[in-house]
Amino acid sequence: EIVLTQSPATLSLSPGERATLSCRASQSVSGYLAWYQQKPGQTPRLLIYDASNRATGIPARFGGSGSGTDFTLTISSLEPEDFAVYYCQQRSNWPWTFGQGTKVEVK
C-alpha cells in the first residue's frame, strides 16, 4: 500500500499567518490526492481533491499543489476557524490511504 507522510506533525502559528503543510507519498499518486480538515468532535471535511481543486464551499485561502509524490496544502492567511487537524489522502491506488495528520495550533 502507498504510505503518506505528512509534515510537520504540529504547526504552531498565529491568526493571519501563512500555513504550509506537506504530504509525501511512498510512490507516485499522480494527481489523485485529497486534503481533509477535521475539528475536534466533528466529521472530516473535504477541502481539496485532485491535488488542487477546491471542494464546494471551501474559501479561496485554501490552496493545494503538487503531483507525483510531493504535495502541499497552503492556507494563505489563517482564520481562527482554521485551527484543526489536516489529513491528506491518496486516491490513486487501492487501498486508499491517509496520512497521519498535521495539527495546526494557535501559537
Partner 1 sequence: QVQVVESGGGVVQPGRSLRLSCAASGFTFSDYGMHWVRQAPGKGLEWVAVIWYDGSKKYYADSVRGRFSISRDNSKNTVYLQINTLRAEDTAVYYCASQRIEESDYWGQGTLVIVSS
Where do contacts with partner 1 occur on this chain (CB under 8 A)? 1, 36, 38, 43-44, 46, 49, 53-57, 85, 87, 89, 94-101
Cell reading at 19: 500555513
The whole-angstrom separation of Cα 107 and Cα 95 is: 36
On whether the CB atoms of residues 102 and 7 are closer than 8 A, the answer is yes
Which C-beta is closer to partner 1: that of 17 or that of 98? Answer: 98
Which C-beta is closer to partner 1: that of 17 or that of 96? Answer: 96
Closest CA to 75 of 33, 30, 44, 37: 37
The least distance separating partner 1 from the CB of residue 81, rounded to whole angstroms, comes to 18
The least distance separating partner 1 from the CB of residue 82, rounded to whole angstroms, comes to 18
The least distance separating partner 1 from the CB of residue 16, rounded to whole angstroms, comes to 28
The whole-angstrom separation of Cα 83 and Cα 105 is: 5
Which C-beta is closer to partner 1: that of 69 or that of 102? Answer: 102
